Amino acid sequence: MKKLYLVASVAAIAASMAVSNAALAQDANGEDSIVVTGYRLQNRSSIAAKADEDRIADFLSADELGRQPDLNVADSLRRIPGVVTVFDEDEGRYVGLRGLDQRYTFISIDGGQIASTDRSDRDINIESIPPTAVKRLEVIKAVTPDYDGHSVGGVINLVTRSAFDTEGLYAVANASVGLHNNTGQLPNSFSNPSYRFDGAVSHTFFDDTIGVLFAGTYFDKKRDQGRPIIGVGSNEIGDFVNEAQPLDYANQIKRWNGLAKFEYKPNDNFHVALSASRFDYQYDEVRTQFRIYEEGLTQTSATTGSYDAGQGYLRFDKFPLGQTIDNLQGTIEFRPTERGLLEVGAYYSHGVQGHPYPNASFRTGSLAGFGYSYDFEGESIDDGQLATVVLNDPSLLQNGLDQFQFQNYFHGNFRNEEDVTEFKADYSWNLEGDAEGLGFKVGAKYRNLEKNRYDEATNFTLADPGTVLTVEDFIDAGSQSYTVEDLGINYPLIDEDLFTDFLFANPDLFNAVDASNANSFYDIQEDVMAGYGMLSYRHGPHTFIGGVRYERTEVATVATLNGGPEQIAREIDYDHFLPSMVYTFEITPQMKIRAGFAEALGRPNHPDLAGAETFDEVNLTIRRANTALKPRESKSFDLGFEWYIDRGQFFSVAAFHKIIKNQITSETFEEVINGDTYTVTQPINLDQVEVSGLEISYADDAFEFLPAPFDGLGIAANLTLMDGINGPAPGGNLLSQPDYLYNVAALYAKGPFSAKVTYNYVDDRPTSATRAEASYEQLDAQVRWQLNDNFQFQVEGRNLLNNPRTNYYSDLNHLREINDFGNSYWFTISYKY
- The predicted-structure confidence for 672-712, as pLDDT tens digits, reads as follows 888 889 898 888 888 889 999 999 999 999 999 999 999 99
> pLDDT confidence of 19, banded at 50, 70, 90?
very low
Give the closest residue to 725 by CA, choosing from 698, 754, 697, 687. 687
Beta carbons of 396 and 370 less than 8 angstroms apart: yes
Distance in angstroms (rounded) separating the CA atoms of residues 519 and 561: 8
For the cut 50, the answer to whether the pLDDT of residue 12 exceeds it is no
Mean pLDDT computed over 490-497: 92
> pLDDT confidence of 625, banded at 50, 70, 90?
confident
Report the C-alpha dihedral over residues 187, 193, 194, 197, rounded to 10 degrees: -150
For the cut 70, the answer to whether the pLDDT of residue 338 exceeds it is yes
Residue 15, pLDDT score: 42
Mean pLDDT computed over 75-103: 88
Distance in angstroms (rounded) separating the CA atoms of residues 595 and 653: 12
Give the CA count within 13 Å in the CB-facing half-sphere of 542. Answer: 6
Q: Report the run of H or E that residue 10 belongs to, with start and end.
A: helix 2-22
Residue 3, pLDDT score: 42
Mean pLDDT computed over 807-813: 94
> pLDDT confidence of 329, banded at 50, 70, 90?
very high
Collect all residues with Cβ–Cβ distance below 8 Å to 745 and sequence separation of at least 6.
Answer: 79, 715, 716, 717, 756, 757, 758, 759
| Cα Dmax for the chain | 89
Beta carbons of 529 and 573 less than 8 angstroms apart: no
Mean pLDDT computed over 445-474: 92
> pLDDT confidence of 657, banded at 50, 70, 90?
very high
> pLDDT confidence of 61, banded at 50, 70, 90?
confident
> pLDDT confidence of 107, banded at 50, 70, 90?
very high
> pLDDT confidence of 6, banded at 50, 70, 90?
very low
Cα angle: 54, vertex 55, 56; to 5 degrees: 130
Beta carbons of 762 and 738 less than 8 angstroms apart: yes
Percent of the chain with pLDDT over 70: 94
- Looking at per-residue pLDDT, the higher value among 607 and 223 belongs to 223
For the cut 50, the answer to whether the pLDDT of residue 459 exceeds it is yes
Q: With 0-12 CB in 10 A as exposed, 13-18 as middle and 19+ as buried, what is 706?
A: exposed
- Looking at per-residue pLDDT, the higher value among 327 and 728 belongs to 327
Residue 404, pLDDT score: 96
Distance in angstroms (rounded) separating the CA atoms of residues 655 and 722: 10
> pLDDT confidence of 523, banded at 50, 70, 90?
confident
Distance in angstroms (rounded) separating the CA atoms of residues 205 and 264: 10
- The predicted-structure confidence for 272-317, as pLDDT tens digits, reads as follows 999 999 999 998 999 999 999 999 999 999 999 999 999 999 999 9
Q: Residues 659, 662, 666, 672: is their CA dihedral positive or negative?
A: positive
Beta carbons of 23 and 590 less than 8 angstroms apart: no
193 residue type, one letter = P
- The predicted-structure confidence for 348-379, as pLDDT tens digits, reads as follows 999 999 989 999 999 999 999 999 999 999 99
Beta carbons of 625 and 607 less than 8 angstroms apart: yes
Q: What's the mean pLDDT when you consider all of the chain?
A: 89
Collect all residues with Cβ–Cβ distance below 8 Å to 600 and sequence separation of at least 6.
Answer: 143, 149, 150, 151, 152, 578, 580, 633, 634, 636
Mean pLDDT computed over 779-795: 94
- CATH of the structural domain 2-700+718-748+759-832, one choice from 2.40.170.20, 2.102.10.10, 3.40.630.30, 3.30.750.24: 2.40.170.20
Distance in angstroms (rounded) separating the CA atoms of residues 112 and 551: 17
**Hey, where are the domains in the chain?**
2-700+718-748+759-832
Give the closest residue to 45 by CA, choosing from 57, 28, 59, 55. 59
Mean pLDDT computed over 52-76: 80
Identify the three-state secondary structure at position 195: strand
Residue 434, pLDDT score: 79
Distance in angstroms (rounded) separating the CA atoms of residues 770 and 513: 37
Q: What is the DSSP letter of 88?
A: E
> pLDDT confidence of 531, banded at 50, 70, 90?
very high
Residue 66, pLDDT score: 58
Identify the three-state secondary structure at position 682: strand
Cα angle: 532, vertex 152, 603; to 5 degrees: 85
Cα angle: 548, vertex 549, 550; to 5 degrees: 125
Q: Residues 23, 27, 33, 39: is their CA dihedral positive or negative?
A: positive
> pLDDT confidence of 210, banded at 50, 70, 90?
very high
Beta carbons of 575 and 633 less than 8 angstroms apart: no
Mean pLDDT computed over 535-541: 95
128-137, 514-523, 789-798, range with greatest mean pLDDT: 789-798
Q: What is the 3-state secondary structure (H, E, C) of 196-216?
A: EEEEEEEEEECCCCEEEEEEE
Distance in angstroms (rounded) separating the CA atoms of residues 270 and 274: 14
Distance in angstroms (rounded) separating the CA atoms of residues 421 and 349: 7
Give the CA count within 13 Å in the CB-facing half-sphere of 392. Answer: 18
- The predicted-structure confidence for 753-765, as pLDDT tens digits, reads as follows 999 999 999 999 9
Beta carbons of 243 and 487 less than 8 angstroms apart: no
- Residue 340: count other Cβ atoms within 10 Å of its Cβ: 15
> pLDDT confidence of 2, banded at 50, 70, 90?
very low
Percent of the chain with pLDDT over 90: 68
310 phi, psi to nearest 5 deg: -170, 160
Q: How does strand 689-700 pair with strand 676-685?
A: unpaired
Mean pLDDT computed over 229-238: 95
Query: Per-residue b/e over 206-231, b at no fewer than 16 CB within 10 Å?
Result: eeeebbebebbbbbbbbbbbbbbbbb
Residue 25, pLDDT score: 41
Residue 34, pLDDT score: 55
Cα angle: 108, vertex 112, 115; to 5 degrees: 70
Distance in angstroms (rounded) separating the CA atoms of residues 788 and 286: 44
Distance in angstroms (rounded) separating the CA atoms of residues 186 and 15: 50
- Residue 649: count other Cβ atoms within 10 Å of its Cβ: 28
Mean pLDDT computed over 105-118: 92
Distance in angstroms (rounded) separating the CA atoms of residues 722 and 733: 9
Mean pLDDT computed over 263-278: 96
Cα end-to-end span (Å), the chain:
49
What does 175-187 look like in DSSP terms, one character per residue? EEEEEESS-S-ST
Mean pLDDT computed over 147-176: 93
